[in-house]
Amino acid sequence: MSELERGIAMATRRPLKVGVGLPDAEGAMGGRTARWADLIAMARLAEDANFDSVWNQDHLLFRHAPWQGPDDPDEGIWECWSVLAALAAVTTRVELGPLVSCTSFRNPALLAKIADTVDEISGGRLVLGLSAGWHEPEYDAFGYPFDHRVSRFEEALRIVGGLLRDGRADLAGTYSVVRDAELRPRGPRRHGPPMMVGTTGERMLRLTAWYADGWNGYFRRGAHRPAEIEPLLRRVDAACAAEGRDPASLERSFAVYVDTVGDAPASDSVNVSGAEPLRGSAEELAALFRGYADLGIGHLQVLTHPMTAEGIERLAPVLEYLDRGRAAPLASTTKLVRFKHVAWEGLPKGKGWTRSSRLVLFGFDNAPDRLESKPWVGPGLAELRLRWIDVAAMHGPPYQVTGRGQRPKGGR
């Protein structure tokens, strides 16, 4: 099978995106603390193994956390956005995001500026995960107020959303104030990266339905497997209905915990609630993942045990089973095409099919002298905008296909 055919299979058959978490806390990498070289290696391994995304967490310090004993030392975490910016520069395909970023830790206008800049560095691959925070000891240690977190979050969401989507924000709130703030220069996406809110609280769900592009749930005891999260998804639907929003317009993602070796601890900084991990063969886990897709989950963030390169390698065969999945046959009118030349908005020109691009084009027009195009952008490149493509059909005469935007001057 050619690289193009593999890309076509992946883009059309994988029922949902699958990403992996990185070990950014002390001792999280199989008992060791990951250094920058380790994080680079794991992110690139995930990219090479065809995962769709990589994620880190936004914490400052774990102290007296639920999994820690009275005599256990504190656990530190590498600063979230510094790591994300660096990962954006050393990866090329996977989506990147915080799972999730605490709006209490940064001025919301500055957070919008940071996010748009990281989106620029990544070429439009950032997913902006947001939430209100929960671990009070780190607030106390670093001097952040813990009171009225949801009210503070709502004001932050209005500022971040206004700046990213419209380029401006003006708010005289109780907790945050911005006066005719303007976001300049802008990153690669006119309305900024998608905003995903991680929450299960009723008021936060309403805010998610009103402001966000996506919702994220995090596994916990009794709410992990597909059947167990159905009640939670109904609450998400109810929040959308209460805000007059079509539930289908809110993207859904969910973080799961997979034990790849069979000896996961009862609880730790990843498995805060002590949930039972997902276990099984690659085929069994793929079936479980399809169960989430059947519920409308479009993206899984998988936190592995161990959170090491070995954990990623052990999980990778699951993707092969997912990509074989329950695909409908291609319509007889569909032409598969291969690339001769590709130009992207905001990115350098690419020549031919490359393993890292994962870009697939389909034609859906029977007219012999014209091939209408629908660009399919695979894992990690959902927002990449196609400018133009000059292609040669696999069978038959050459076709010229124009995608979104205008064909650049001087193109063939």
Domain spans of the chain? Answer: 14-324, 335-402
CA distance 300 to 396: 40
Q: At what angle do helices 282-294 and 226-242 cross, to 10 degrees?
A: 20
CA distance 263 to 281: 15
pTM for the model: 0.78
What is the enclosing helix (H) or strand (E) of 98? strand 95-98
Arithmetic mean of pLDDT, 113-142? 98
With contact defined as beta carbons under 8 Å apart, do 188 and 346 qualify? yes
107 burial (CB, 10 Å; 0-12 / 13-18 / 19+) is middle
The dihedral through the CA atoms of 236, 238, 244, 246 has a sign that is: positive
Residues 6+ apart with CB under 8 A from 70: none
The reported pLDDT for the residue numbered 403 is 34
Q: What digits encode the pLDDT tens for the residues 300-348?
A: 999 999 999 999 999 999 999 999 865 443 333 223 333 333 333 333 3
Q: What digits encode the pLDDT tens for the residues 248-289?
A: 999 999 999 999 999 888 878 788 888 999 999 999 999 999
With contact defined as beta carbons under 8 Å apart, do 16 and 297 qualify? yes
Arithmetic mean of pLDDT, 18-23? 98
Tokens of 402: 């124009």
Q: Is the model's pLDDT at 386 over the cut of 60?
A: no
Which CATH architecture describes the domain 14-324? Alpha-Beta Barrel (3.20)
Higher pLDDT: 41 or 370? It is: 41
Q: What digits encode the pLDDT tens for the residues 373-385?
A: 333 333 333 333 3
Cis status of the peptide bond prior to 375, with omega within 30 of 0: no
CA distance 115 to 83: 12
351 burial (CB, 10 Å; 0-12 / 13-18 / 19+) is exposed
Q: What digits encode the pLDDT tens for the residues 113-126?
A: 999 999 999 999 99
